[in-house]
């Protein structure tokens, strides 16, 4: 925002073009994040009503505005809006579990959905994704949030659950150890525990769940969207 103020201070006709250049990265980021979030299946407009830290209301900047046709004030207003929207979207992105729970490439060994239960030998719902990983490797929070569970829970073994607000939560199961405690705040990427094979596990792996309002949804939706945002 300070760069916009600086541009305002030196205002003359040519500054319009500086303002356009200034908002271009913000508009690019907005477009990229909106496409990515639409892949999650949760429209940005509905995220605003999900108790996320910042209101995401307000009109989006029209992408088609031609800079030459606008005066300085109108250009300044558009740039302010674009930067403000980019900031609001950044706050949302921090709370949506879009990042990878493990560093390095993910090696999925069992997808989300119906599968033959490895213990019972009959069809059962798999509420997350299993990723192969070395015993003891770090498991990372995929978004900022507050730890709600850090301990042992039946078939999950040693597990961590993080509430990200807005109805989003994640679970990290079969851990060998936890690195967080209930009610602890975590940032995206923080280590929550280490890979193990506790609970109903046939070997070391991470069972990772993403939930919306408590219902498990396929984590690949989030991971694909995250790849668009973070790996470009
Ligand atoms: Zn699993």
Task: Yes or no: say if 128 and 173 are a contact pair by the CB < 8 Å rule.
Answer: yes
Indicate if 160 and 183 belong to the same structural domain: yes
Give me ligand 1 centre to Cα 117, in Å.
Answer: 10
Q: Are residues 69 and 114 in the same domain?
A: no
Helix, strand, coil content of the chain in percent (nearest 5): 35, 30, 40
Does residue 223 lie in a domain region? no
C-alpha 140/C-alpha 193 separation (Å) is: 7
Ligand 1 mean position to 190 CA, how many Å?
22
CA-CA-CA-CA torsion for 26, 57, 183, 177, nearest 10 degrees?
-50
- Would residue 227 count as lying in a domain? no
With respect to residue 226, please indicate whether it lies within any of the assigned structural domains: no
How remote is the CA of residue 139 from the centroid of ligand 1, in Å? 15
The last residue of one of the domains, among 69, 93, 117, is 93
Domain-located, residue 210: yes
Q: How far is CA 174 from CA 92, 143, 195, 202, in A?
A: 29, 20, 7, 10
User: Which pLDDT value is given to residue 10?
Assistant: 57
Cα of 151 vs centre of ligand 1, distance in Å, is 17
Q: How far apart are CA 61 and CA 65, in angstroms?
A: 9
Statement to judge: residues 66 and 158 lie in one domain: no
Q: Are residues 88 and 114 in the same domain?
A: no
CA 127 to ligand 1 centroid distance, Å = 7
CA 105 – ligand 1 centroid, Å? 18
Rounded distance from Cα 173 to ligand 1 centre (Å) = 8
Residues 12 and 89 in one domain: yes
CA distance 83 to 93: 15
Distance 115 CA to ligand 1 centre (A): 10
Determine the distance separating the centroid of ligand 1 and the alpha carbon of 210, expressed in angstroms.
12
The H or E element spanning position 116 is strand 113-116
- Residues 46 and 115 reside in one and the same domain: no
Q: pTM to 2 decimals?
A: 0.79
**Which of 47, 71, 93 represents a domain boundary (last residue)?**
93
**Domain at 211, CATH number:** 2.70.70.10
Q: Does residue 80 share a domain with residue 123?
A: no
Report how far residue 178's alpha carbon sits from residue 10's, in angstroms, rounded to the nearest whole number: 54
Domain-terminating residue out of 60, 93, 126: 93
- Cα of 131 from ligand 1 centre, angstroms: 8
Q: Give the count of domains, the chain.
A: 2
Residue 209 and residue 151 in one domain: yes
Centre of ligand 1 to C-alpha 148, Å, is 20
Q: Name the packing angle between helices 72-95 and 2-9 (round to 10°).
A: 170
Residues 78 and 164 occupy one common structural domain: no
Residue 159 maps to a domain: yes
**228 lies in some domain:** no
pLDDT digits (tens), the chain, 232 positions: 566 666 555 555 566 677 777 788 888 888 888 888 888 876 566 665 444 333 344 444 454 455 556 777 887 888 888 888 888 888 888 889 999 999 989 999 999 998 888 788 888 899 999 999 999 999 999 999 999 999 998 899 999 999 999 889 999 999 999 999 999 999 999 999 999 999 988 899 999 999 999 999 999 999 999 988 887 5
Q: Is 198 in the same domain as 123?
A: yes
Q: Is residue 98 part of a domain?
A: no
Q: Is residue 100 part of a domain?
A: no
Report phi then psi at 132, rounded to 5: -70, 135
Provide φ and ψ at 131, rounded to 5°. -120, 130
Are residues 80 and 112 part of one domain?
no
> Which residue range(s) make up the domain with 161?
107-218
What spacing in Å lies between the alpha carbon of 130 and ligand 1's midpoint?
A: 5
Distance CA 65, CA 18 (A): 15
């Amino acid at each position: 925002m300070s760069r916009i103020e600086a541009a305002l201070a030196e205002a003359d006709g040519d500054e319009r073009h500086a303002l356009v250049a200034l908002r271009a990265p913000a508009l690019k980021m907005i477009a990229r994040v909106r496409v990515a979030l639409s892949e999650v299946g949760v429209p940005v407009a509905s995220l605003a009503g999900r108790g996320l830290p910042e209101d995401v209301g307000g009109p989006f900047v029209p992408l088609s505005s031609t800079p030459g046709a606008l005066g300085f004030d109108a250009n300044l207003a558009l740039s302010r809006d674009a930067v403000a929207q980019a900031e609001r979207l950044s706050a949302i992105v921090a709370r949506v579990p879009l990042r990878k729970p493990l560093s390095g490439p993910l090696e999925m060994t069992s997808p989300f959905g119906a599968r033959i239960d490895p213990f019972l030998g009959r069809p059962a719902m798999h509420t997350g994704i299993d990723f192969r990983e070395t015993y003891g490797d770090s498991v990372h929070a995929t978004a900022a949030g507050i730890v709600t569970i850090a301990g042992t829970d039946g078939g999950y073994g040693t597990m961590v659950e993080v509430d990200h607000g807005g109805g989003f939560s994640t679970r990290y199961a079969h851990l060998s150890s936890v690195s967080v405690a209930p009610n602890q705040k975590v940032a995206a990427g923080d280590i929550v525990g280490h890979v193990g094979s506790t609970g109903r596990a046939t070997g070391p792996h991470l069972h990772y769940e993403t939930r919306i309002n408590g219902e498990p949804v396929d984590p690949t939706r989030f991971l694909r969207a995250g790849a668009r945002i973070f790996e470009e």
